[in-house]
Structure 1
Amino acid sequence: MADASRHKNHDEIAKRLRRAGGHLAKVVAMIEGEAPCVEVARQLQAVYRAVGNAKQALVRDHIDHCLDDHALKERSAGDIKAELAEISKYL
């Protein structure tokens, strides 16, 4: 791994977020085009789920990254525990 802060799934997570961003832009267009509120709400829920899924993937990827052999050798158990407690708030 060339960059220790870059996790193996960052590219996939970024791809998900770009797709959600495009979807959100379409929702804005729906609102500006006066689409029915139920349809807009349904599409907003889909964007919300997509962003939530990307967030969960990022947090889980970070946890996997923090618990790999390399990280365990270079950091104290207390540091790792504190970081896991911090990031788990976002699950």
Structure 2
Amino acid sequence: MNEIKQHASHKGIILRLKKAHGHLAKVIQMMENQEKCLKVSQQLYAVEKAITQAKKAVIHDHIEHCLEESNGKSKKNDLNEFKEITKYL
């Protein structure tokens, strides 16, 4: 099993995801309270942007710290992993 590395950027990403989680909980509450669609849409947009930014940060972090620091023994494997992760950008 691969060990997951904790990078300095992960704390910021976790914070961003927790904020998105709070926003999403608020959206659910707004829907249950039958808030106006415009307000709900604005909050959904904020959740979406927060998650997108967190995803990009995780992917960029992986490229910078995991692939760049690779020992070169498994170049083909690293290239395949890079191709795989870029699908999520």
TM-score grouping bracket, smaller chain normalisation = 0.7 to 0.9
2: distance between equivalents of 1:8 and 1:77? 25
Write the distance in 1 (CA, Å) between the matches of 2:51 and 2:16. Answer: 8
Match of 1:64 in 2: 64
| Structure 1 residue 78 displacement after superposition | 0.7
Question: What stretches of structure 1 move > 3 A for 4+ residues in a row?
Answer: none
**CA shift for structure 1 position 8:** 2.6
Q: Percent identity?
A: 43
CA distance in 2, matches of 1:75, 1:6: 22
Q: How many residues align?
A: 87
* Residue 15 of structure 2 corresponds to residue 15 of structure 1: yes
Within the candidate set 70, 75, 85, 1:77 is matched to: 75
TM-score, reference length from structure 1: 0.85
TM-score of the aligned structures, taking structure 2 as reference length: 0.87
Taking structure 1 as reference, are residues 65 and 20 closer, same or farther at Cα in structure 2, changes over 3 Å only? same
CA RMSD of aligned residues (A): 1.6
- Partners of 2:31 and 2:53 in 1: how far apart? 24
In the TM superposition, residue 7 of structure 1 has moved relative to its aligned partner by 2.5
Aligned AA (1:10): H
What are the Cα deviations for residues 47-85 of structure 1, in whole angstroms up to 9, with x where unaligned?
A: 00110110000000000012334x2x2642111101100
d(CA) in 2 for partners of 1:48, 1:64: 24
Whether the 8 Å contact between 2:16 and 2:50 is mirrored in structure 1 is: yes
